[in-house]
């Protein structure tokens, strides 16, 4: 349809190759196709699924879209666009027949439950009278035709749902699976055709009406929409577009670019309009507020000035009253103070004259007494000085004699002091020699303890390596047992899920390996002399970690396999339930399918070992 439109518009284009699925549609729904033959087989009571399959083989033996399997008499394969699909015709006739009685359908349609009523809608009277035989295939064909008519009369938009992974878990994307779904759904083909052609097309009037704002100066003086469209596209510097007779054809992404530029121009214009409108509103509010403020300020200032004048007038009157009252009080206080001062001065002057007279009278007798006292004092001082000189001379001579005696005694004691110092030094040397020997013994004991700890660590690493090998052997045995169980299980029986629960074992081994690594790191930092011996232990530890990581990966793979088997078993169980329900609907006396119980494998656990290390710290205090 798009290429026919390109031809009508006479634009430069090349033919686009695409996969046409019309032959598959003709094989299924055309007259004489699969649905028609199925309805025809349902009309004959003696028809079986084998006769229906043989009729399909003879009718479509030359059709390239129809393939007959080699090892089956009732199966047939249809070569769809997405891939080959094999169908089993065992129950096609039973499923295509409609056994619902008209009275039953009317009864269920009149149910008070909306869900039950929606399952059995009322059929139109014309279709019910005209068609004596009603099948599921014919109804599906009519519904499909109605859907295609609805889609043709509207502009539908499709949403493609893609399953990211088969595990039904979040944040996991399988690229191969997603690409296969997009390719089978025709999304990649539709994108290729859309990119090769012109997915966006607009008439000249619609294009100018929508994108005229991008170049308003180009529309002035021009009435031809085609020329205006071309000028707008040249101004936007777009390439690979086509202009037909009545429409403009754009490549993928060009319409979004034009819409973005149009939104930018409209946004700028809207901002200019908003700016001018806000300026006008703000100016109007400012003028109104300024006028109101002026009136309010004049009234307030008048009131304040009147209040200030009244306060100043009252303050001046109060100051005048205060001045007169203070002057009267000060006058009275001054007169009272003057009278008191005169009286006090008179009394003080009389007292001072009497005191002077008494002093002169007493001074004359005191002079005579002082002369006698000073004479007696000088004589006593002379006698005391004479006795003191004699005493001091005796004490000094005694002091010199004692000093000489002390020097003689010190000379006698020097020989004994030297002997005591020698004894003390000998004792000090013996004590230091004993401490040095003790320190050497302690260092030797510490080195022996470290050597024992290193030997214990090597033995522990060897034991852990053996445990990991045992775990690997057990995992291999469990995988072989699971494979044998899957191969020996019959097709009808549900596949037995294998559950491997080694969480405790893995956690214990991980904790032990982490503890050993921490202890080895501490020993390497503490003892520099043991680095060469620890290198071999580190290499073995790295090999053990690699083996352990390989075992973890294998365990995760086994868990994924078990989960997939469990999902497959669940799907088979649901299919069995559906088949049982259909069998019950067809023949109530049919027996229910027997379900086989699950038999999970036993899981072996390897207990972890705990290793405790004790370090003895020896502190030596030197005095």
At 327 the pLDDT is 93
Residue 569 CB partners (closer than 8 Å, separation 6+): 494, 495, 496, 497
* Nearest C-alpha neighbor of 523 from the set 515, 512, 443: 515
Three-class secondary structure of residue 530 per DSSP: coil
Give pLDDT tens digits for 205-253: 888 888 877 777 777 766 677 778 888 888 887 777 777 777 877 777 7
| DSSP class of 593 | P
At 502 the pLDDT is 56
One-character DSSP codes across 203-223? EHHHHHHHHGGG-GGGSTT--
**Between 234 and 329, residue with greater pLDDT:** 329
Q: Give the lowest-confidence range in 61-65, 224-228, 289-293, 311-315.
A: 224-228
Three-class secondary structure of residue 582 per DSSP: helix
Q: Give the lowest-confidence range in 104-118, 209-223, 587-601.
A: 587-601
Q: Give the lowest-confidence range in 111-125, 484-498, 550-564.
A: 484-498
| Distance in angstroms (rounded) separating the CA atoms of residues 267 and 77 | 59
Residue 563 has pLDDT above 60, yes or no: yes
The contacts found for 191-194 with CB under 8 angstroms, 24 or more apart, are 193/16, 193/18, 194/252
At 498 the pLDDT is 38
At 322 the pLDDT is 94
* Nearest C-alpha neighbor of 503 from the set 361, 608, 414: 608
Sign of the C-alpha dihedral, residues 420, 425, 426, 432?
positive
One-character DSSP codes across 347-393? HHHHHHHHHHHHHHHHHHHHHHHHHHHHHHHHHHHHHHHHHHHHHHH
Average pLDDT over residues 409-421: 70
At 279 the pLDDT is 95
Could you tell me how many residues make up the chain? Answer: 623
Cβ 258 vs Cβ 245: under 8 Å: no
**Exposure of 500 by Cβ count < 10 A (0-12 exposed, 13-18 middle, 19+ buried)?**
buried
At 492 the pLDDT is 42
Cβ 93 vs Cβ 41: under 8 Å: yes
Give pLDDT tens digits for 16-32: 566 667 788 888 888 88
What end-to-end distance do the CA atoms of the chain give, in Å?
Answer: 107
Cβ 482 vs Cβ 561: under 8 Å: yes
| Distance in angstroms (rounded) separating the CA atoms of residues 422 and 234 | 116
Residue 162 phi/psi, 5-degree rounding, is -120, 130
| Distance in angstroms (rounded) separating the CA atoms of residues 194 and 181 | 19
Mean pLDDT, the chain, rounded, equals 77
* Nearest C-alpha neighbor of 472 from the set 499, 441, 435, 509: 509
Residue 394 has pLDDT above 80, yes or no: yes
Cβ 198 vs Cβ 242: under 8 Å: yes
Give pLDDT tens digits for 600-616: 333 333 333 333 333 33
| DSSP class of 214 | G
Say what the alpha-carbon torsion angle 293, 295, 299, 304 is, to the nearest 10 degrees: 40
Cβ 581 vs Cβ 518: under 8 Å: no
**Exposure of 608 by Cβ count < 10 A (0-12 exposed, 13-18 middle, 19+ buried)?**
middle
| Distance in angstroms (rounded) separating the CA atoms of residues 422 and 258 | 110
Cβ 243 vs Cβ 226: under 8 Å: yes
At 3 the pLDDT is 63
Residue 617 CB partners (closer than 8 Å, separation 6+): none
**Between 80 and 133, residue with greater pLDDT:** 80
Of the pLDDT bands very low, low, confident and very high (cuts 50, 70, 90), residue 545 is confident
At 609 the pLDDT is 33
Residue 46 has pLDDT above 80, yes or no: yes
């Amino acid at each position: 349809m798009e290429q026919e439109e390109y031809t009508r518009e006479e634009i430069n284009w090349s033919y686009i190759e695409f996969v046409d699925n019309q032959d598959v549609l003709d094989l299924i729904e055309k007259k004489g196709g699969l649905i028609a033959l199925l309805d025809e087989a349902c009309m004959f009571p003696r028809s079986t699924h084998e006769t229906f399959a043989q009729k399909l083989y003879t009718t479509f033996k030359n059709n390239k879209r129809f393939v007959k399997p080699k090892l089956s008499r009732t199966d047939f394969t249809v070569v769809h666009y997405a891939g080959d699909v094999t169908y089993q015709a065992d129950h096609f006739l039973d499923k295509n027949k409609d056994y619902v009685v008209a009275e039953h359908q009317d009864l269920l349609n009149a149910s008070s439950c909306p869900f039950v009523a929606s399952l059995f809608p009322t059929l139109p009277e014309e279709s019910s009278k005209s068609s004596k035989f009603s099948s599921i295939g014919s109804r599906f064909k009519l519904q499909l035709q109605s859907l295609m008519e609805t889609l043709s009369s509207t502009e539908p938009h499709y949403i493609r749902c893609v399953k990211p992974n088969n595990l039904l878990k979040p944040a996991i994307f399988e690229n191969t699976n997603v690409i296969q779904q997009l390719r089978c759904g025709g999304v990649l083909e539709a994108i290729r055709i859309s990119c090769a052609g012109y997915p966006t097309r607009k008439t000249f009037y619609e294009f100018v009406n929508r994108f005229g704002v991008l170049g308003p100066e180009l529309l002035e003086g021009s009435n031809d929409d085609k020329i205006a469209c071309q000028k707008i596209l040249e101004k936007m510097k777009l390439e690979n577009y086509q202009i037909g007779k009545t429409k403009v054809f754009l490549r993928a992404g060009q319409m979004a670019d034009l819409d973005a530029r149009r939104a930018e121009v409209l946004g700028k214009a809207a901002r200019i309009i908003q700016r001018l409108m806000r300026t006008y509103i703000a100016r109007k509010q400012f003028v109104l507020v300024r006028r109101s403020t002026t009136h309010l300020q004049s009234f307030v200032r008048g009131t304040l000035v009147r209040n200030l004048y009244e306060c100043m007038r009252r303050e001046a009157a109060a100051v005048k009253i205060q001045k007169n009252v203070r002057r009267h009080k000060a006058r009275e206080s001054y007169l009272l103070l003057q009278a008191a001062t005169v009286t006090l001065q008179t009394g003080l002057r009389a007292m001072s004259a009497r005191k002077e007279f008494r002093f002169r009278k007493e001074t004359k007798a005191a002079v005579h007494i002082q002369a006698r006292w000073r004479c007696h004092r000088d004589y006593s001082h002379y006698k005391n000085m004479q006795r003191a000189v004699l005493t001091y001379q005796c004490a000094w001579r005694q002091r010199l004699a004692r000093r000489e005696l002390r020097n003689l005694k010190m000379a006698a004691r020097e020989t004994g002091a030297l002997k005591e110092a020698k004894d003390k030094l000998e004792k000090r040397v013996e004590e230091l020699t004993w401490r040095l020997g003790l320190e050497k013994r302690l260092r030797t004991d510490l080195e022996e303890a470290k050597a024992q700890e290193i030997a214990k660590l090597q033995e522990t690493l060897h034991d852990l390596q053996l445990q990991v090998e045992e775990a690997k052997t057990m995992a291999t045995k469990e995988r072989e047992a699971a494979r044998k169980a899957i191969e020996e299980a019959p097709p009808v029986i549900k596949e037995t899920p294998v559950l491997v629960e080694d969480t405790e074992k893995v956690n214990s081994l991980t904790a032990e390996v982490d503890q050993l690594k921490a202890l080895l790191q501490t020993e390497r930092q503490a003892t520099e002399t043991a680095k060469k011996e620890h290198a071999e232990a580190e290499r073995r530890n790295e090999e053990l970690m690699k083996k352990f990581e390989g075992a973890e990966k294998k365990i995760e793979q086994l868990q994924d396999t078990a989960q997939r088997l469990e999902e497959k078993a669940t799907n088979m169980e649901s299919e069995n339930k559906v088949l049982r329900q259909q069998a019950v609907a067809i023949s109530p006396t049919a027996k229910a399918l027997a379900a086989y119980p699950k038999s999970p494998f036993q899981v072996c656990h390897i207990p972890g070992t705990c290793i405790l290390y004790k370090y003895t710290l020896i502190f030596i205090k030197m005095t």
